[in-house]
Structure 1
Amino acid sequence: MKKNIGAIVVDVDRCKGCTLCMVACPKNVIALAERKVNAHGYPYVVAARPDDCIGCASCGIVCPDGCITVYRKRIEVEEPVASTQK
């Protein structure tokens, strides 16, 4: 069985912390960096749960400033073996 995994890279210096990407992410991967701001004084987003990213690119699509790059990879995963014991 194949599964999509993803990774995001946020251009922290361009991010304005609008949080549209957080709303768009179906897996709640993205969060605002706690008590941190970029060089322009804006809070910015980070991948808080990177292992949950499926590479759907919803975050990158809705970002008004084009701050998010999404990488996607399709991998083979083993299906769990069903137990025949009852």
Structure 2
Amino acid sequence: MAKKEKGKTSIIVFQDWCKGCGICVEFCPGKVLELDRTSGKALVVHPEECINCGFCELHCPDFAIMLAPKERENPMAAELNCNGGDQ
């Protein structure tokens, strides 16, 4: 199995869409996400540990998570009310 490189992905959590189910938090191999103690919604806490496996994005029932390569500028992150690892 090829080794995945860490820290090359921007993780964006759309807070308005997240219902706090915790699927992304429980199954993330890098422990990149945590549920916020106040809102109960997913937050990006360790973006440097993301290996871009895509599990969070594919399994989020609310489509509240988006992954994008860091090399590419993501205009949506700046315009939307979201929580990203680089912000």
Matches within 5 A, 1:51-70: 51-70=48-67
Aligned to 2:57, the other structure's residue is in SS state helix
State the 1:56 CA deviation.
1.4
Q: Provide the C-alpha distance between the structure 2 equivalents of 1:9 and 1:3, rounded to a whole number of angstroms.
A: 18
Give 1 or 2: higher strand fraction.
1
The alignment covers a number of residue pairs equal to 67
Q: C-alpha distance in 1, partners of 2:64/2:31?
A: 18
Q: TM-score scaled by structure 2? A: 0.67
Question: Whole-Å Cα distance in 2 between the matches of residues 3 and 65 of structure 1?
Answer: 27
RMSD (Å), alpha carbons: 2.0
Identity %: 34
Local SS of the residue matching 2:61: coil
- Of 33, 38, 55, which residue of structure 1 is paired with 2:36? 33
CA positional deviation for 1:73: 5.2
Q: Which has the higher helix share?
A: 2
What is the correspondence of 1:42-81 to structure 2 with a 5 Å cutoff?
43-72=40-69
What is the CA-CA distance between 1:72 and the residue it aligns to?
2.9
Structure 1 runs (4+) deviating above 3 angstroms are: none
Give the unaligned 5+ runs of structure 2: 72-87
Q: Which runs of 5+ in 1 are unaligned?
A: 38-42, 75-86
Structure 2 SS opposite 1:34: coil
Measure, in 2, the Cα distance between the counterparts of 1:34 and 1:26. Answer: 21
Residue 18 of structure 2: SS of its match in structure 1? coil
